[in-house]
Structure 1
Amino acid sequence: MNEPLDERPKPFLYVVVCAAGAAGDVGTLITMAQGRGWGVGVIATPQGLGFIDATAVEAQTGYPIRSAWRLPGEPRPLPPADAIAVAPATFNTINKWAAGVSDTLALGILCEAYGMGIPTVLLPYVNSAMAAHPAYQESLARLRGMGVMVSSRESHQPKAGGGADRFRWEEALELLGPAADARR
């Protein structure tokens, strides 16, 4: 017997949040994703935890924020990801991810997602001085080569406020559109 359409599990989106000025508004992306039928869980880098209101995010998603590996035998607190949005993404996370460094839970999930074929989008939040570094451009090229969908957002001027109010959270869902639909 087939399940009624409204009883099928929702597709699940992991939002990886880094320590960047726009991170405090991650609820915007959560609301947009939930409005499109996604379940959402947040994975924060250890430094990213200080940039978000954990209580509000957990209330909004209904799941604990993950930032550290679970111990053997502990249950998985989030359903498996159908897609991942790294937003906002920092210079450090982008370069480590592209290099295959897995020294935090967030990076471990991102490195593993490639091998699992999970559609992943990247919304960098990097100032132009850091974006000029050759390692950053090489990292973006490597991630694109791995199939990561990268935002068209331009870097912001250093020490100029960063333009967090102009961060295009919706671009994560726009980029995921076709890839996410294929996994539902």
Structure 2
Amino acid sequence: MTTTPHVLYLFASAAPPVFDIAKVIENAQSRGFDVCLGLTPTAARWLKPRLGDLEHLTGHPVRSEYKMPGEPDVWPKADVIVVAPATFNTVNSWALGLTHDFVIGVVAEGIGKGIPIVAMPCVNSAYVQHRQFERSVAELRAMGVQLLYGEGGFVPNQPGQGKPKEFPWGQVLDAAASAMRT
């Protein structure tokens, strides 16, 4: 009997761990996921020289913009969505429902569709001092998003002291696999 891989929408913002996204895709594929990669506009600009390779790796177009009305969807339907690294802007825009870009629009709609969503912020300790950030984290959690932040998830570093190679990608993919089983 042949099983169809589960479809993972992997959405990434412009934070340094995004430069390891090819390894993350390969890791997700080794776990049985069919990966569709979506990027915020700035993340797409950062990865522009590698977009063709990433499309080849996933077998799907890398998306960072909305499709035109009436155009067919180019991705299969998602079984689970991962948003990582999620920047300060991504977390706050999402929680406030500001769907100015493709990634935020899909994840905002994903909540309403009941698609399991796992997110992991990548922010420094100065950003998290802004009161809106904690409100946004609480709001997303209240809407059913599994936000891996704080103890047991991403813990912010001091500004300029990030460790992008230590971003806990494996934890995010583990949570995505578990989210589909619940």
The two structures share one fold, judged by TM-score above 0.5: yes
Taking the aligned partners of 1:150 and 1:73, their CA distance within structure 2 comes to 33
Structure 2 counterpart of 1:13, one-letter code: L
Q: Which residue number in structure 2 is paired with residue 76 of structure 1?
A: 73
Query: Within 5 A, what are the aligned runs for 1:124-143?
Result: 124-143=121-140
Structure 2 counterpart of 1:55, one-letter code: G
How many Å apart are 1:37 and its aligned residue?
0.8
Measured against aligned partners, the alpha-carbon deviations of 1:102-160 in whole angstroms (never above 9, x if no partner) come to 11111110110000011111111101100121100110011111111112110121122
Q: Which moved more, 1:33-42 or 1:49-58?
A: 49-58
Q: Which residue number in structure 1 is paired with residue 99 of structure 2?
A: 102
Structure 1: which 4+ aligned runs deviate by more than 3 Å?
none
In the alignment, does 2:166 pair up with 1:166? yes
Q: Which residue number in structure 2 is paired with residue 115 of structure 1?
A: 112
SS in 2 for 1:12: strand
Q: Which residue number in structure 2 is paired with residue 153 of structure 1?
A: 154
Taking the aligned partners of 1:140 and 1:51, their CA distance within structure 2 comes to 26
Q: Which residue number in structure 1 is paired with residue 15 of structure 2?
A: 20
Q: Which residue number in structure 1 is paired with residue 33 of structure 2?
A: 38
Identity %: 38
Structure 2 counterpart of 1:9, one-letter code: T
Q: Which runs of 5+ in 1 are unaligned?
A: none
Taking the aligned partners of 2:38 and 2:16, their CA distance within structure 1 comes to 17
Taking the aligned partners of 2:179 and 2:165, their CA distance within structure 1 comes to 27
Contact 1:21 1:51 in 2 (8 A): no
How many Å apart are 1:17 and its aligned residue?
1.0
**When the two structures are aligned, how many residues end up with a matched partner?**
176
Contact 1:98 1:142 in 2 (8 A): yes
How many Å apart are 1:179 and its aligned residue?
1.9
Structure 2 length as normaliser, TM-score?
0.92
Taking the aligned partners of 2:112 and 2:103, their CA distance within structure 1 comes to 15
Measured against aligned partners, the alpha-carbon deviations of 1:14-71 in whole angstroms (never above 9, x if no partner) come to 0111111111101122111111111000111111102322122111101111111111
Structure 2 counterpart of 1:171, one-letter code: Q
Q: Which residue number in structure 2 is paired with residue 90 of structure 1?
A: 87
Q: Which runs of 5+ in 2 are unaligned?
A: none
Taking the aligned partners of 1:150 and 1:70, their CA distance within structure 2 comes to 28
